[in-house]
Amino acid sequence: MRLLNLTLAFLLAGATIALAQQFPPQPAPPDMGNEAERAACHPDVVKHCQAELSKSQDDVFAILACLQRNRTRISPACQQVLANHGQ
């Protein structure tokens, strides 16, 4: 009986490790900023990130990546918001 329990525990541990390797932890979404910061970047998001908005308005990573790709074209206020958040 003890051997069976040890074998089951070993198999479960292996399965848990295999699942963890298949599904690595996802990064936490970036801080979406306060109301003033969101207002500073809203016009730039609307202007430069329509493709990302049309896919999903909740995909914070895609919108952030869009703003980063367009950094030279976004407003100084939005550039400052990104810089303040380490982006």
| Residue predicted with more confidence, 12 or 73 | 73
**Count of H helices and E strands in the chain?**
5, 0
- The pTM (predicted TM-score) of the whole model is 0.63
Query: What is the percent of the chain where pLDDT is above 90?
Result: 45
| Residue predicted with more confidence, 17 or 61 | 61
Q: Quick: pLDDT tens for 14-24.
A: 444 454 566 66
> Taking a C-beta distance cutoff of 8 angstroms, is the pair 69, 45 a contact?
no
Of 48, 76, 52, 73, which Cα lies nearest the Cα of 62?
52
| Residue predicted with more confidence, 18 or 30 | 30
Q: Quick: pLDDT tens for 74-87.
A: 999 999 999 998 98
